[in-house]
Chain A
Amino acid sequence: MERNDDNWLLRVRNLTKIYGEPSENTLSLTGPMFNSNICPETDSIVACAGIDFDLYPGEVLGIVGESGSGKSTVVKLLYFDMEQTEGTAWLKPYNDGLQNILSESNQKKRYIRNHLMGMVYQNPRDGLNFRFSSGGNIAEKLIMAGNMHVGNIRERASDLLNKTEVPVQRMDDRPSSFSGGMQQRVQISKAIANNPPLLFLDEVTTGLDVSVQARVLDLIRELQQDLGIAMIVVSHDLSVIRMLTDRTMVMKNGRIVESGLTDQILQDPQHEYSQLLVSSLL
């Protein structure tokens, strides 16, 4: 069969984030084998280390693991919310994938973020500006992506709110007056406003009640089907991972302990920690 491995959208190699001063032994003295991400020599903290993966267009990749395993760190580094200690990432639609996006200038990083990425945070306050109306929030993203025509922006905003089932007549209300599920849907509208090829979702259903959770999951699934957006879904909830993702990486103590097709991770986990995780599923 013809191999089309060059077709990746995002390629990440050796992505590493360490807090504090590492010693030369920090990486070899931390990780799942030691059940710790704190260096015994320097007390530096390895949030994540040696993260390698490829994401293909339209594919949904899950990152699962317990609190503190480093899963959110991975997406925050890739969305430039924090700076990596080491590592490289290439994004195909940017410079044909030839330039390490993590070493670009802040100005270029902003461009990449505004034009090629979307992010949905667990807390809507991180992704939305609560001083703006919901429509204003979407407009903000559209303006940053280079749209200047007010009429077009309003039309696009109402389209997006429609798609995410937020009542359009509430377009001029501030998100602070919305329920948690609605805030999350506004945040999703904002994140996809610029038609990004890549969307990050960080624990987006955590804290929502189950009926709202199901609607948000359904929305994400539908957007994926309709728009073919590639996604990285971070969650500690295996049910969310099972419903949304094609592939999954299991993280523990800042490292990837196993990666594979999502159904394989759930039905035939290889690593001791993944086996424990799956067998704990309710």
Chain B
Amino acid sequence: MNILEVSDLSKNFNLHILNDKKIEALKNINFTMKEGEIIGLTGKSGSGKSSLMKCIYRSYLASGGEIIYNAKAGKIDLVKATDHEIIQLRKTEITYCSQFLSVIPRVTAVEVVCENLFRAQKEKSQAREMAKEMLEKLGLPTSLWDAFPVTFSGGEQQRINVARAIIASPRFLLIDEPTASLDQKTKDVVVDLILSLKRNGTSVLCISHDEYTLDRLVDRRLALHLGEIEQLQGIAG
């Protein structure tokens, strides 16, 4: 079964405040993704990787084309779905993990990681236990668990970000550079955690520049160049 079918997707930015300057970020994007597959999105900076991911998550409004997502309740076009439908999908099956952590200032690391569990009405003490387990796996020092992540280093924030995204085992995970500022050992932990999600059926679209991560993690790659898909590689391609 395909979890995602993207056809003729395009994205243009129309910058009214810069004399209606137009920027073509994506054109003619076509690909499908099987359930439980991990696809690596590659390409130079500015090639459209994040734009593609954001169109799928609907942080960007696509300019044309279709993004058919096979939700538990049936197929839905993420380009045309109502805001309310997107919010429901984000609460229940689609998670996006950006490159940089964005949190409310005075919320502790454990509480940040719990966010998606609380949203799913998980019992609080149980959620906190799961969060601590996850932070332990990712090697975040226990002294930081009750501290505020805004004060953390880049690598520590990254781990909080990844932990928060994967803890509730989303059905479809969009993840941007999950290993970028991590040491080798933590990289392996993150890759293993994502692979264990996959074994439980999660489909993953992952942006990465890191050859090692890509080699270990993805089933196939989708290379973008100047907003277009360049080539398909790998076992399932």
Interface residues of chain A, those whose CB is within 8 Å of chain B, are 1-3, 5, 54, 56, 59, 211, 214-215, 217-218, 221, 225, 242-243, 246-247, 259-261, 263-264, 267-268, 270-272, 275-276, 279
Q: Do most interface residues of chain B lie in helix, strand or loop, or is the interface mixed? A: mixed
> Considering the complex, which residues of chain B in the window 79-93 have a beta carbon less than 8 Å from any beta carbon of chain A?
81-87
Task: Decide: A268 and B60 in contact? CB cutoff 8 A.
Answer: yes
Task: Decide: B59 and A263 in contact? CB cutoff 8 A.
Answer: yes
Q: How far apart are the CA atoms of A259 and B104 in the complex, in Å? A: 23
B15 within 8 A of A: yes
Given the complex, which residues of B lie within 8 Å of A215, measured CB to CB? Answer: 106
Task: Decide: A267 and B60 in contact? CB cutoff 8 A.
Answer: yes
* Nearest neighbor of A274 in chain B, beta-carbon distance: B16
Task: Decide: A1 and B73 in contact? CB cutoff 8 A.
Answer: yes
Task: Decide: A2 and B87 in contact? CB cutoff 8 A.
Answer: no
Task: Decide: A1 and B84 in contact? CB cutoff 8 A.
Answer: no
Task: Decide: A56 and B104 in contact? CB cutoff 8 A.
Answer: no
Centre residue among A246, A263, A270 by max chain B CB count within 10 A: A263
Q: How far apart are the CA atoms of A247 and B86 in the complex, in Å? A: 10
Given the complex, which residues of B lie within 8 Å of A276, measured CB to CB? Answer: 17
Given the complex, which residues of B lie within 8 Å of A1, measured CB to CB? Answer: 71, 73-76, 81, 85
Task: Decide: A268 and B54 in contact? CB cutoff 8 A.
Answer: yes
* Nearest neighbor of B62 in chain A, beta-carbon distance: A268
B60 CB contact (under 8 Å) in A242, A246, A264, A279: A264
The 29 sampled A-B contact pairs (Cβ below 8 Å) are A1-B71, A1-B73, A1-B76, A2-B73, A2-B74, A3-B85, A5-B82, A54-B84, A56-B87, A214-B104, A214-B105, A214-B106, A217-B105, A218-B104, A225-B119, A246-B83, A247-B83, A260-B61, A260-B83, A261-B58, A261-B59, A261-B83, A261-B86, A263-B59, A267-B54, A267-B59, A270-B14, A271-B16, A272-B16
Task: Decide: B84 and A5 in contact? CB cutoff 8 A.
Answer: yes
* Nearest neighbor of B14 in chain A, beta-carbon distance: A270
Given the complex, which residues of B lie within 8 Å of A2, measured CB to CB? Answer: 73-74
Q: How far apart are the CA atoms of A2 and B71 in the complex, in Å? A: 10
Interface residues of chain B, those whose CB is within 8 Å of chain A, are 13-17, 54, 57-61, 71, 73-76, 81-87, 102, 104-107, 118-119
Q: How far apart are the CA atoms of A261 and B75 in the complex, in Å? A: 21
Given the complex, which residues of A lie within 8 Å of B83, measured CB to CB? Answer: 246-247, 259-261
Given the complex, which residues of A lie within 8 Å of B119, measured CB to CB? Answer: 225
Shortest distance in angstroms between A52's beta carbon and chain B's nearest beta carbon? Answer: 13
* Nearest neighbor of B61 in chain A, beta-carbon distance: A268
A279 with B74: in contact, given A59-B84, A59-B87, A267-B54 (CB under 8 Å)? no
Q: How far apart are the CA atoms of A268 and B54 in the complex, in Å? A: 10
Given the complex, which residues of B lie within 8 Å of A264, measured CB to CB? Answer: 58-61
Given the complex, which residues of A lie within 8 Å of B107, measured CB to CB? Answer: 218, 221
Given the complex, which residues of A lie within 8 Å of B60, measured CB to CB? Answer: 264, 267-268
* Nearest neighbor of A3 in chain B, beta-carbon distance: B85
Q: How far apart are the CA atoms of A54 and B73 in the complex, in Å? A: 22
* Nearest neighbor of B114 in chain A, beta-carbon distance: A225
Q: How far apart are the CA atoms of A246 and B17 in the complex, in Å? A: 26
Given the complex, which residues of A lie within 8 Å of B61, measured CB to CB? Answer: 260, 264, 268, 270
Task: Decide: B59 and A275 in contact? CB cutoff 8 A.
Answer: no
Q: A1-B85, A225-B118, A261-B83 are in contact. List 7 more A-B contacts (CB 8 A).
A: A1-B71, A1-B75, A1-B81, A2-B73, A221-B104, A260-B83, A267-B59
Given the complex, which residues of B lie within 8 Å of A272, measured CB to CB? Answer: 16-17
* Nearest neighbor of B11 in chain A, beta-carbon distance: A268
Given the complex, which residues of B lie within 8 Å of A263, measured CB to CB? Answer: 57, 59
Task: Decide: A275 and B84 in contact? CB cutoff 8 A.
Answer: no
Q: How far apart are the CA atoms of A1 and B78 in the complex, in Å? A: 11
Shortest distance in angstroms between B11's beta carbon and chain A's nearest beta carbon? Answer: 9
A268 with B84: in contact, given A2-B74, A214-B104, A225-B118 (CB under 8 Å)? no
Task: Decide: B71 and A275 in contact? CB cutoff 8 A.
Answer: no
Q: How far apart are the CA atoms of A78 and B118 in the complex, in Å? A: 30
Given the complex, which residues of A lie within 8 Å of B76, measured CB to CB? Answer: 1
Shortest distance in angstroms between B6's beta carbon and chain A's nearest beta carbon? Answer: 17
Shortest distance in angstroms between B52's beta carbon and chain A's nearest beta carbon? Answer: 13
Q: Lowest 7 CB-CB distances: which A-B pairs, in order?
A: A272-B16, A1-B76, A214-B105, A214-B106, A268-B60, A1-B74, A263-B59
